[in-house]
C-alpha cells in the first residue's frame, strides 16, 4: 500500500514537472507564472482529493443519520469514527472529530449499547445532544422476519 502511494505521488510529480517544462520552453506568453501557478494548484487539489479517498479519516460533516460501527481514540486527542450512512449504499467511511470529554462519553455509551446487541442510530441535532457536534444516539427496533 505504501509503495503504491509513493509510486502515484512520483507519477503525479513527473506529470507536473513535464507540464511545467512544456510551459517554460514552448509557450511564448507573458502569463507563464499564472499558468505554472494554476497547474501547481490543480495538482495540490488532486493530491488532497486522492488522499481523502484512500481510507484516511476525513474532517467533513457527519451525515444527519448514521450507524456507528467503531470508535478509536488517537494519541493526539482525536476520535476516529467508522460510520455507515443508511441513506446511501456506499461503503462505511472514517471521520475524524476533535476530542471532548462529553463526546467521548456519548460515543462510549453508544459502543457499550452496540456491544450488548442493541441497534443504535446516530442523529445530528444540537438541541438534543450534550456535545459540540450535536451527536446523540437512539435505539431502533430490530426488524425480524415474519414466521
The predicted model scores a pTM of 0.63
Q: Tens digits of per-residue pLDDT, 105-136?
A: 889 999 998 888 888 899 888 777 777 788 88
pLDDT of residue 112: 92
Q: How is residue 70 annotated by DSSP?
A: E
| Residue 98 to residue 80: CA distance in whole angstroms | 9
Q: How many CB atoms lie within 10 A of CB 68?
A: 20
Q: Which residue has the higher pLDDT, 144 or 91?
A: 91
The answer on pLDDT for 30 being more than 60 is yes
8 Å CB contact between 68 and 114: yes
Q: Which residue has the higher pLDDT, 10 or 142?
A: 10
Q: Which residue has the higher pLDDT, 68 or 36?
A: 68
Report residue 32 as a C-alpha cell: 507563464
Q: Tens digits of per-residue pLDDT, 32-58?
A: 777 778 778 887 887 777 766 667 788
Amino acid at each position: 500500500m505504501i509503495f503504491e502511494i509513493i509510486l502515484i505521488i512520483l507519477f503525479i510529480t513527473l506529470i507536473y514537472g513535464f507540464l511545467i517544462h512544456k510551459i517554460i520552453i514552448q509557450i511564448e506568453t507573458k502569463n507563464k507564472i499564472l499558468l505554472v501557478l494554476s497547474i501547481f494548484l490543480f495538482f495540490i487539489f488532486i493530491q488532497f482529493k486522492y488522499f481523502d479517498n484512500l481510507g484516511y479519516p476525513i474532517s467533513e460533516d457527519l451525515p444527519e443519520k448514521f450507524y456507528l460501527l467503531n470508535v478509536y481514540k488517537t494519541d493526539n486527542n482525536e476520535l476516529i469514527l467508522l460510520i455507515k450512512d443508511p441513506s446511501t449504499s456506499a461503503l462505511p467511511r472514517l471521520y475524524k472529530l476533535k476530542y471532548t470529554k462529553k463526546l467521548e462519553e456519548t460515543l462510549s455509551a453508544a459502543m457499550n449499547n452496540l456491544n450488548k446487541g442493541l441497534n443504535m442510530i446516530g442523529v445530528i441535532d444540537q438541541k438534543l445532544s450534550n456535545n459540540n457536534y450535536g451527536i446523540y444516539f437512539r435505539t431502533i427496533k430490530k426488524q425480524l422476519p415474519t414466521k
